[in-house]
Structure 1
Amino acid sequence: MSQPVPPPGNPFAEGATPTPYPMAPPPAPARDNVGLGLVAALVAALVAGGVYGGIAGAVEREIGWAAIGVGFLVGFAAGKVGGRNPVLPVVSAVLSLGAVYCGQLVAIAILGGKELNIPATEMFFEHFDMLTEVWGESKDAMTFLFFALAAFAAFSGSKKAAQ
């Protein structure tokens, strides 16, 4: 006597060939990686500082909203990648200060390069001492306000992105 044939598509029927299950979705990316969050914040700080300096050099003035954007971008990158570690907002704030400072130096290099008719990269890399001297002489209350805005945006952006 032959065995009864199970209906097609029923993987639990006796004698049926099992049908494969669909593949499981890939695991969610690890978010609580502090080291990766710090690297993301550093990369964001370098890129955002360069863009900030390029914009400020092109329009020949600093823009407060751009400094806030630098800080938020650094904090957002750290919080999104690194998670909720309490070190990340503080490090983001410090990195955003460095990014705004470097951006201001890039802007001075662009303006000085235009004035002296040399490339801005030459101004930045070969006359860095002159850039820092010019920055020191030209800083005012607005310079420090931009630092504060960037640091605050980085701190709060990191906390918001980690939620």
Structure 2
Amino acid sequence: MSQPTPPSQPTEGNPYAAQQPVAGNPYAGQQQPAGGGNPFAGQQQPTGGNPFAGGQQPGFAPAPPAPRQGNFALGIVAAVVAALVTAGIYGAIIGGTGYEIGYAAVGVGFLIGLAAGKVGGSNPVLPVLSAVLSLGAVYVGQLIGVAMIGADESGISATTLLTDHFDLVTAAWKESADFMTYLFFGIGAFAAFSGAKKAAL
């Protein structure tokens, strides 16, 4: 005896028509979330698992810039050239004015240190070398100034005095040297040391 077949239900006006189980799947016919069952599909995920990705990291200051690197040998050459040039200028100032000017000694030292630091970089030897070269440049500049003053008084050229009568020039320098003379040495050396430090930054 065959089982009676239930009459088919009309789909029109039936609110459950689209929700009948299909092949044992209770969810067949229902709209599935996009992304293969992932309820977070379509939402922006943190980049690489880092919740601060794309934003500024809290509590971390930017790293300070590295000291500028340079060429140590070229820094020495630049400092020597600057010492020779500034010594001549300093001597011309002394010879033209008849006075030792402190600002000129500062300029001598600072220019030497500037040249060394800009070209040679942050090598710790350069500030010390600049200070030593500044001492020599100030001394040579003072000798040139004494020779120029002696040239005006004797009628002999300053070049001749420096080459043929150097002992007379140094003797005249010793006689005229005083506290301010040696103070200018220290000023020039300090300016050279600090100038090289600042220029290397």
Output the aligned Cα RMSD: 1.0
Q: TM-score, normalised by structure 1?
A: 0.80
- Between the aligned partners of 1:34 and 1:137, the Cα distance in structure 2 is 39
Give, in angstroms, the shift of residue 79 of structure 1: 0.2
Q: Tell me the percent identity.
A: 62
- Between the aligned partners of 1:89 and 1:156, the Cα distance in structure 2 is 7
Helix, strand or coil at the partner of 2:80: helix
Of residues 166, 174, 190, the one that matches 1:136 is: 174
**Structure 1 residue runs of 4+, over 6 Å off?**
none
* Amino acid of the structure 1 residue aligned with 2:71: N
1:75 equivalenced with 2:75 (yes/no)? no
Helix, strand or coil at the partner of 1:84: coil
Question: Higher relative contact order at CA 8 Å, sep ≥6: structure 1 or structure 2?
Answer: 1
Of residues 96, 101, 119, the one that matches 2:134 is: 96
The gaps in structure 1 that reach 5 residues or longer are 1-29
1:127 equivalenced with 2:180 (yes/no)? no
Of residues 63, 68, 76, the one that matches 1:38 is: 76
Moved more, 37-46 or 124-133: 124-133
Give, in angstroms, the shift of residue 45 of structure 1: 0.2
1:53 equivalenced with 2:91 (yes/no)? yes
Helix, strand or coil at the partner of 1:156: helix
The gaps in structure 2 that reach 5 residues or longer are 1-67
- Between the aligned partners of 1:132 and 1:35, the Cα distance in structure 2 is 32
| 1:79–1:157 Cα contact (<8 Å) kept | yes
Give, in angstroms, the shift of residue 31 of structure 1: 4.5
Residue in 2 aligned with 1:27? Answer: none
Q: TM-score, normalised by structure 2?
A: 0.65
- Between the aligned partners of 2:92 and 2:162, the Cα distance in structure 1 is 12
Higher helix share: 1
Give, in angstroms, the shift of residue 81 of structure 1: 0.3
* Amino acid of the structure 2 residue aligned with 1:57: G
Of residues 97, 109, 116, the one that matches 2:147 is: 109
| 1:31–1:80 Cα contact (<8 Å) kept | no
How many residue pairs get aligned? The number is: 134
1:87 equivalenced with 2:125 (yes/no)? yes
Give, in angstroms, the shift of residue 118 of structure 1: 1.2
* Amino acid of the structure 1 residue aligned with 2:94: A
- Between the aligned partners of 1:108 and 1:33, the Cα distance in structure 2 is 36
Q: Highest Rg: 1 or 2? A: 2
- Between the aligned partners of 1:55 and 1:126, the Cα distance in structure 2 is 23
Give, in angstroms, the shift of residue 124 of structure 1: 1.1
